[in-house]
Structure 1
Amino acid sequence: MMRTIARVALSVAALLAGALPAHAAPVADAATVAAVKACVPARPCAAKLPVRVVVVTMFEIGKDSGDKPGEFQLWKERRGLSVTLPFPQGWHDLAYDPQTGVLAMVTGMGSIKSATAALAVGLDDRLDLSKAYWLVAGIAGIDPEDASVGSAAWARYLIDGDIAHEIDAREIPAGWKSGYFALHSKGPMDPTPLPPENGEMFELNPALQEWAFALTKDMKLPDDPAIATARKAFTGYPNAQKPPFVLKGDNLAAMTFWHGAKMNAWANDWTKFWTRGQGEFVTSAMEETGTFQSIEYLTRVGRADRDRVMVLRSASNFSMPPPGVDPAGYLLSENQGYAGMTAALEALYLVGGKVVDEITGHWDRYEKAPPK
């Protein structure tokens, strides 16, 4: 009870200070909300909830509020997402705020769950997503060459790490860097010709990425003794030793939770290969390419707009161990609990929240077209 009162007090204080935008009238009135809640999921519904921003999270820990948070909980608790919409055709029920038009979802972990959940949301007849912005907001591994744990990166390119050929490393030809290579190619990183894309890479709206980065790049992100200690070990990696910061950096999504310096080198090569040298691997996760593939399909039928998608990943852990540390042991110790989990979740909410506030608080400016 005291925690709830404290959160409400913080929200009120932030509103009075101008940190959160005030809304003169709700996006959806009580009658519309009641009519939508009376509809059966995955069936035709005459009423629709207008959605301005979809916050896409991938997992939650335990309950949706009042316990240890995952990616979803801070949004639900702090944003007052008071309307719960049953969502049996997906991983987790939806949460909606009729005052701001913010909808939050939990896809489940992995590209299969994220793709099917995003498609199911887009086809849900209770929702009007035709003008909605999509904010994918999740934790990630981060390349110590680029940033530190607790940092938050806005992506332009989404690269899939699963669609490929593979030969066991013990049987690869002499001279190959790995046994992993693109479909229709002759070996690792063979650029001649670059094989046709089949979901291996997506480019987000670069103007929207630049806008979101410019809006948030000077934000001070949470720091704590645990992540400060973790980053000190990364001697020779100046960006890894900085306090958390906001940056631009691309995301590689793969269903395999990989780790280590050699895999990190592969991720950098794979990103450069598929982006034709334009991208920079910064964060590793599992879901983005699945989510975005579904949004591409939804765009074709007017249910979404692929130019209104943003991907923000904050670092809960490094994608490789510090110099001289065994990667297997480091990975197993990290799996006991990421040192950067709390900082990463707070960074996601703070950085992503600033963008959500700007969009919902100035809908007259962003409804017709994304910022340029």
Structure 2
Amino acid sequence: MRILSAFFLLATIACAAIEATAQNDPPPPQKPLEIKVVVINMFEVGADTGDAPGEYQYWVEREHLDTVLPFPAGYHDLRLNEKSGILGVLTGVGTARTAATIMALGLDARFDLTHAYFLVAGIGGMDPRMGSLGSAVWSDYIVDGDLAHEIDAREIPKDWSTGYVPLGKSTPYEQPRTARFGDDGNVYHLNPGLVDWAFALTKDTVLPDTPAMAARRQQYTEEAAHRPPFVLRGDNLSASTFWHGKLLNQWARDWVKYQTDGHGTYAICGMEDTGTLQSLTWLSHAHKLDISRVLVLRTASNFDQQRPGATAAESLGETKIRQYSAYLPALDAAYRVGHLVVDNLVANWQQTRDHIPTSATSLK
């Protein structure tokens, strides 16, 4: 009997010890939240909601990104619609902030991004040869405009068209075009099938127009610049330097042609997209996400050059945030076009989770 009593006493003590240990253990890690779409915006003017908008606000308000998630490793707190699985991220302006923020997001253990789609949605400067104020551009190529040698324009040889020289070269646009440091991030080619699908889905979207925009676009001579806002395909030059003017516009056209071996056509400029694509590319190599699920949409808040009768300096003086010729309409256009893609991906998640849509895909 004494042996039996001792056995029960030891068993009771052991159970109590196990229970106490379990109470002191940290809770088991939560399963990462599967994200369906990440919307990437670059700047906001003030608060995320309820005041003068930047690129983020319309997405936060209209997609009901109501859950705020602290994000100390990135530029700004994240916002989530828990029901739809749409996550909003604000990167900050410039390639450095953007690359750091997107890398931090991709390594955040709270999220499963392996099936997520990524939509960059921002404003930019339009080539008037390609489109008009308020127009929306889906891009196949994102080209870096920062990685280069440069000579001041006052010192370039007379037979040079620009002082920009590709890294590792001695003259502008020197052939053969080979990257100096291997895959050095000069060009990112997005999944053409997905871009085809996004363009086909949104090409007939009616975009906001104003009398002021109509008057401004008539000051330019290019036929495309005269059109009311529309959705188009064209390529994106990403550079942290906010450049402006006819001569730099010609450089942008030539630079995109050179860096894409003649396949790309410059349409619009932005500041952050190569930083975003660099981080997404390396995160894809680490199997954190799928780089073939990335889209870049830029809408024209202004033209990238002066109108006839004005100097580049005068035009640049007019080109300030919230004073752009089409600032608010461009923000609205980015949402109007972009949300059709985002909402369609979410609504058809049973298909789109595992199968990337193309122009031949039949979705509701």
User: Which of 295, 303, 312 lines up with 1:318 in the alignment?
Assistant: 303
Q: Distance in 2 between matches of 1:212 and 1:335?
A: 30
How many residue pairs match? The answer is 328
User: Which of 98, 102, 111 lines up with 2:82 in the alignment?
Assistant: 98
The gaps in structure 1 that reach 5 residues or longer are 1-43
Identity in percent: 47
Q: Distance in 2 between matches of 1:261 and 1:203?
A: 26
* Residue identity matched to 2:294: V
Q: Distance in 1 between matches of 2:259 and 2:104?
A: 28
1:76 partnered with 2:29: no
User: Which of 331, 336, 342 lines up with 1:356 in the alignment?
Assistant: 342
Is the CA contact (8 Å cut-off) linking 2:177 and 2:258 kept in structure 1?
Answer: no
Q: How does 1:58-69 map to 2 (within 5 A)?
A: 58-69=42-53
* Residue identity matched to 2:121: A
Higher mean C-alpha deviation, range 311-320 or range 329-338: 329-338
1:345 partnered with 2:331: yes
Q: Detail structure 1 runs of 4+ shifted over 3 Å in the superposition.
A: 193-197
1:268 partnered with 2:253: yes
Higher mean C-alpha deviation, range 218-227 or range 307-316: 218-227
Higher mean C-alpha deviation, range 219-228 or range 287-296: 219-228
**CA radius of gyration, larger in:** 2
1:89 partnered with 2:73: yes
Q: Over aligned residues, Cα RMSD in angstroms? A: 1.2
Q: Distance in 2 between matches of 1:195 and 1:170?
A: 27
For 1:47, the equivalent position in structure 2 comes to 31
Displacement of 1:193 in angstroms is: 4.7
Q: Distance in 2 between matches of 1:181 and 1:45?
A: 51
Displacement of 1:168 in angstroms is: 1.2
TM normalised by structure 2 equals 0.88
1:371 partnered with 2:357: yes
Is the CA contact (8 Å cut-off) linking 1:45 and 1:126 kept in structure 2?
Answer: no
For 1:24, the equivalent position in structure 2 comes to none
Is the CA contact (8 Å cut-off) linking 2:238 and 2:272 kept in structure 1?
Answer: yes
Displacement of 1:307 in angstroms is: 0.1
Q: Distance in 2 between matches of 1:332 and 1:312?
A: 26
Q: Distance in 2 between matches of 1:140 and 1:172?
A: 29
* Residue identity matched to 2:293: R
Q: How does 1:215-294 map to 2 (within 5 A)?
A: 215-235=201-221, 237-294=222-279
Using a 3 Å threshold, how does the CA distance of structure 1 residues 250 and 193 change in structure 2: closer, same or farther? Answer: closer
Q: Render the CA deviation track for 1:216-238: whole Å, top value 9, x for unaligned.
A: 00111111112111101012x01
Q: Distance in 2 between matches of 1:177 and 1:194?
A: 21
Is the CA contact (8 Å cut-off) linking 2:134 and 2:207 kept in structure 1?
Answer: yes
The gaps in structure 2 that reach 5 residues or longer are 1-27, 359-364
Displacement of 1:195 in angstroms is: 3.7
For 1:329, the equivalent position in structure 2 comes to 314
TM normalised by structure 1 equals 0.86
For 1:120, the equivalent position in structure 2 comes to 104
